[in-house]
């Protein structure tokens, strides 16, 4: 029997590809009838790039995306808060800014090349497992039988609750609105740029390249932080003109980019959740991606972790002929240190960048920039950004 994967986003599609490459029969289930990539631009770290290279897709991704050499963030007063260079971590390291649509196009194209069965418009409402397999309950009353089940349907998955594993999912009180705008002539495209006012206002700009190979324009991902309570009805309450004024007041350099923003319909909303699980497997069921370890976007690790999950799962399948419960248990042990570190780091850093807190951002502004000048602290900061740390003091991920 086949392995079912619920969710055809980065985690689900990548897992389907990597398992199919190991001669595992997989079947994708996606609730949307005509899936389209939804989400902000992505920053793929060196670790995620290696996982993408293992699928033979990195060269194509490099043609579509933009290399990001530096992350720089400051306050309106000009105080540097973040100044991190990938090159100071490793001479050949860089981030890769890419549009979600471009990455999903590459992954979905490979899914089709491999002949993976894909059920679109097939919503999975629940499951039951026994000693021989897993039975899916589909919308409309149909069922499907599989030897194992992988949940990759995002931070707000309801299916995850069917796993007999201690878990919690706490929505973040802050979200964002975002869009991808054409890069104006001469606009900087080599760094991820951020501007902060305390932790209550944040604007982010990241070069994300082209959506398709034949595009002539390269895009800049625009990110504007907002409390979740203000996301509902923000178009009517704030309006486009006032929003653009707030952005340019915080960061005047963004004005040329905002010339391409003419309608609130260009902007989408993003919400996040902190997902914690005591382990990521329950016998024949496994959770991966944001479904397993959703976190805020502060460390830029969402898509990165999803690609690593798929890569590491395939490594366990290739190392033994054990039944799926054994494969999933080994995967949980393999991923524990890495995922625990980034979950803790994300939860600890988020209030410094998105909150109504006063003390935490004050300490950030005074000490982050100064500490980043120290070689050891800078190395640890970039190692965290690059996605390689597995512990606060030591430990590196080996892919």
The three-class DSSP label of residue 356 is coil
Both tokens of residue 3? 């392995």
Q: What angle do CA 15, 17, 21 make, to 5 degrees?
A: 115
Would residue 184 count as lying in a domain?
no
Between CA 315 and CA 18 the distance in angstroms is 9
Would residue 121 count as lying in a domain?
yes
| Cβ-Cβ contacts under 8 Å for 113 (sequence gap 6 or more) | none
Q: Does residue 19 contact residue 3 with C-beta atoms inside 8 Å?
A: yes
Would residue 310 count as lying in a domain?
yes
Q: Does residue 284 contact residue 146 with C-beta atoms inside 8 Å?
A: no
- Domain extent for 147: 3-39+98-171+273-372
Between CA 122 and CA 290 the distance in angstroms is 20
Would residue 130 count as lying in a domain?
yes
Q: Which single residue is written with the structure tokens 């679109």?
A: 120
Between CA 312 and CA 15 the distance in angstroms is 9
Q: Can you give the pTM of this predicted structure?
A: 0.95
What's the confidence (pLDDT) of residue 319?
A: 62
pLDDT in tens, the chain (399 residues): 799 999 999 999 999 999 999 999 999 999 988 887 776 789 999 999 999 999 999 999 999 999 999 999 999 999 999 988 898 888 899 999 999 999 999 999 999 999 999 999 999 999 999 999 999 999 999 999 999 999 999 999 999 999 999 999 999 999 999 999 999 988 878 899 999 999 999 999 999 999 988 888 899 999 999 999 999 899 999 999 999 999 999 999 999 999 999 999 999 999 999 999 999 999 999 999 999 999 998 888 999 999 999 999 999 997 655 699 999 999 999 999 999 999 999 998 999 999 999 999 998 888 887 777 788 888 888 899 999 999 998 899 988
Between CA 311 and CA 318 the distance in angstroms is 11
Exposure string of 114-132, with b = 16+ CB inside 10 Å and e = fewer, is eebebbeebbbeebebeee
The CATH number assigned to the domain holding 105 equals: 3.50.50.60
Domain count for the chain, please give it. 1
Residue 171, strand partner residues: 273
Burial (CB count within 10 angstroms: exposed 0-12, middle 13-18, buried 19+), residue 197:
middle
Would residue 299 count as lying in a domain?
yes
The three-class DSSP label of residue 260 is coil
| Cβ-Cβ contacts under 8 Å for 267 (sequence gap 6 or more) | 177, 178, 179, 261
Half-sphere exposure of 380 toward its Cβ, with a 13 Å CA cutoff?
15
Q: Which candidate, 303, 334, 302, 301, places its Cα nearest to that of 316? A: 334
Residue length, the chain? 399
Instruction: Answer positive or negative: Cα dihedral of 260, 264, 265, 268.
Output: positive
Would residue 393 count as lying in a domain?
no
Would residue 304 count as lying in a domain?
yes
Would residue 60 count as lying in a domain?
no
């Amino acid at each position: 029997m086949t392995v079912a994967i619920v969710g055809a986003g980065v985690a689900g599609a990548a897992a389907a590809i990597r398992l199919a490459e190991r001669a595992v029969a997989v079947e994708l289930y996606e609730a949307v009838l005509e899936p389209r990539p939804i989400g902000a631009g992505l920053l793929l770290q060196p670790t995620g790039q290696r996982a993408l290279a293992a699928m033979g897709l990195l060269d194509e991704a490099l043609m579509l995306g933009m290399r990001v050499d530096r992350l720089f963030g400051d306050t309106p007063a000009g105080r540097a808060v973040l100044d991190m260079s990938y090159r100071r971590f490793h001479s050949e390291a860089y981030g890769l800014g890419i549009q979600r649509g471009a990455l999903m196009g590459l992954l979905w194209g490979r899914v089709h090349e491999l002949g993976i069965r894909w059920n679109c418009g097939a919503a999975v409402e629940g499951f039951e497992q026994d000693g021989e397999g897993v039975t899916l309950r589909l919308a409309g009353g149909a069922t499907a039988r599989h030897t194992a089940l992988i949940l990759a349907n995002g931070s707000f998955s309801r299916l995850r609750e069917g796993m007999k594993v201690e878990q919690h999912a706490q929505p973040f009180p802050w979200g964002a609105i975002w869009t991808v705008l054409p890069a104006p002539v001469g606009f900087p495209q080599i760094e991820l740029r951020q501007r902060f006012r305390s932790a209550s206002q944040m604007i982010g700009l990241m070069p994300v390249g082209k959506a398709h190979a034949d595009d002539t324009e390269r895009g800049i991902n625009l990110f504007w932080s907002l409390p979740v309570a203000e996301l509902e009805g923000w178009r009517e309450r704030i309006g486009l003109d006032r929003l653009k004024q707030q952005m340019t007041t915080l960061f005047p350099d963004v004005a040329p980019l905002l010339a391409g923003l003419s309608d609130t319909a260009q902007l989408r909303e993003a919400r996040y959740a902190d997902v914690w699980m005591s382990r990521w497997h329950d016998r024949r069921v496994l959770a991966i991606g944001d479904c397993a370890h959703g976190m805020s976007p502060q460390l830029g690790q969402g898509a990165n972790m999803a690609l690593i999950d798929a890569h590491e799962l395939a490594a366990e399948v290739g190392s033994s002929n054990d039944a799926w419960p054994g494969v999933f248990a080994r995967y949980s042990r393999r991923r524990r240190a890495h995922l625990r570190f980034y979950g803790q780091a994300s939860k600890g850093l988020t209030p410094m960048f998105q909150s109504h807190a006063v003390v935490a951002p004050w300490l950030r502004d005074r000490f982050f920039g100064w500490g980043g000048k120290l070689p050891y602290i800078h190395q640890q900061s970039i190692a965290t950004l690059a996605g390689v740390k597995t512990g606060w003091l030591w430990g590196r991920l080996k892919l």
